[in-house]
Amino acid sequence: MPDDPIPTVFAMSNPLHPVSQQIRGHGVAAIILDDIRWQRCHIKAISLLPNILLRQEALDQNAAEAILIRDGFATEGAASNLFVVSGGILATPSTGPFLLPGITRDLILELAETNNIPHCEKNISRDDLRNADEIWLTSSTKEILPVTRLDDAPIASGQPGPLFQHMLALYQNYKQQLRNQ
């Protein structure tokens, strides 16, 4: 490394389109793929080629997102964080070098804490995903998306679940409160 490196500044802007009510009402499909990314996924960098390739593989299989598995446990989506609801408990993988913690992920955990929704950070296995009552994907641009199909099989009833509906209302209310300040 040089003694005095000069950083490169990169800025990009794209129009942000809200997720449609139809998608929120029906949910999205996801597939499980092996996490082929490097060992420092918690570092936000513009070198996201593995993420792009994984997401493209999901799109090629008519899914909105790829849920990534490393060493038997889910890490995150190719472009999102992951939540699973089982037995009334909201769970998300723990932060560490294999996932990029997101602002929306942190807000969901904060809203769960504030509203007495049982939640935890823990390892989530492939079986945990397949047997979940609900699966959500979160990101700043998509907010909260319910996954209703995983690897072409329905999650629970195949419809967005009640905790998703409750959290979405809490999330939208939170945004409205910020706008009113």
Q: Which residues are catalytic?
A: 44
**How many CB atoms neighbour CB 104 within 10 A?**
19
| Residue 139 bridge partners (DSSP) | 143
Query: Which among 34, 107, 94, 106 is positioned nearest to 69, based on CA atoms?
Result: 34
25 three-class SS? helix
Whether 42 contacts 95, CB under 8 Å? yes
One-letter amino acid for residue 44 of the chain = K
Residue indicated by tokens 């993420």: 51
CA distance to 26, 77, 106, 177, per residue, from 64 (Å): 13, 10, 22, 30
